[in-house]
């Protein structure tokens, strides 16, 4: 059997006297979509933040590709290939798609931004998602679904091996949700591991391989 790309063992988290995660363990495999299902306050966001380096666990350990993994910042997680896509999108609407995809990492040539290379590389990432939009187009005016896919293209440009999608359909309609599901399946076929956070049971039953249920900070069920 393929080894997990990410393993969590005994993860607990306290904020003062309040324990928000209680001995949670989880494996995610390459090319697998794992749902974290739970109501608000179940611990989903805290757990995803620990995986993505924005929070630190109070107890427990993690491994990444079999090696100890303890990111102190989101940048450390990104450098390993772990990218969290927030429910609130992080795009700059006045910039082009290409500029957003490579924000903070624009390719340079002779001391100036190599826009031709940036557009070409961004277009390659859009092609992976079957998104046929010119990378030179500004983000302003794109549908919410397409903006979501631009965020995923940003993650792919970072060589993401694990994507965490936080309530990705919260602002999407039915047709847009179907388009997102199509791309999630495509990424799964490319070997990307995906943690899919939601509280919508019918939705995650359609798109995920396994469902892990959190309640009051505890892992209570898997199916």
H helical segments located in the chain: 44-52, 74-80, 97-101, 115-128, 144-157, 174-189, 201-207
pLDDT at residue number 142: 94
Whether 24 contacts 200, CB under 8 Å: no
Question: What structural domains does the chain harbor?
Answer: 6-92+159-222 (3.40.50.300)
Token pair for residue 218?
């505890």
Is the pLDDT confidence value at 69 over 90? yes
More confident residue, 11 or 148: 11
**Phi, psi dihedrals of residue 39, rounded to the nearest 5°:** -75, 170
**Phi, psi dihedrals of residue 165, rounded to the nearest 5°:** -105, 115
Sheet holding 6-15, edge to edge: 18-28, 6-15, 59-64, 67-68
Write down the pTM of the prediction.
0.89
More confident residue, 7 or 105: 7
- The alpha carbon of residue 43 and the mean position of all alpha carbons in its chain are separated, in whole angstroms, by 17
């Amino acid at each position: 059997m393929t080894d997990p790309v990410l393993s969590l063992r005994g993860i607990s988290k306290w904020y003062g006297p309040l324990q928000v995660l209680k001995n949670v363990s989880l494996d995610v495999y390459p090319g697998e979509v794992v749902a974290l299902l739970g109501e608000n306050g179940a611990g989903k966001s805290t757990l995803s933040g620990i995986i993505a380096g924005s929070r630190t666990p109070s107890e427990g350990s993690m491994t990444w590709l079999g090696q100890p993994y303890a990111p102190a910042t989101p940048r450390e997680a990104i450098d390993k290939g772990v990218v969290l896509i927030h429910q609130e999108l992080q795009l700059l609407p006045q910039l082009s798609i290409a500029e957003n995809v490579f924000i903070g990492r624009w390719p340079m040539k002779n001391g100036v931004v190599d826009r031709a290379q940036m557009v070409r590389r961004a277009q390659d990432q859009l092609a992976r998602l079957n998104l046929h939009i010119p990378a030179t187009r500004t983000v302003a005016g794109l549908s919410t679904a397409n903006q979501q896919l631009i965020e995923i293209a940003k993650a792919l440009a970072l060589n993401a091996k694990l994507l965490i999608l936080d309530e990705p359909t919260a602002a999407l309609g039915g047709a847009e949700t179907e388009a997102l599901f199509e791309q999630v399946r495509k990424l799964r076929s490319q070997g990307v591991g995906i943690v899919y956070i939601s509280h919508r049971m019918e939705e995650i039953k359609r798109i995920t391989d396994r469902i892990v249920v959190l309640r009051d900070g505890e892992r209570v069920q898997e199916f």
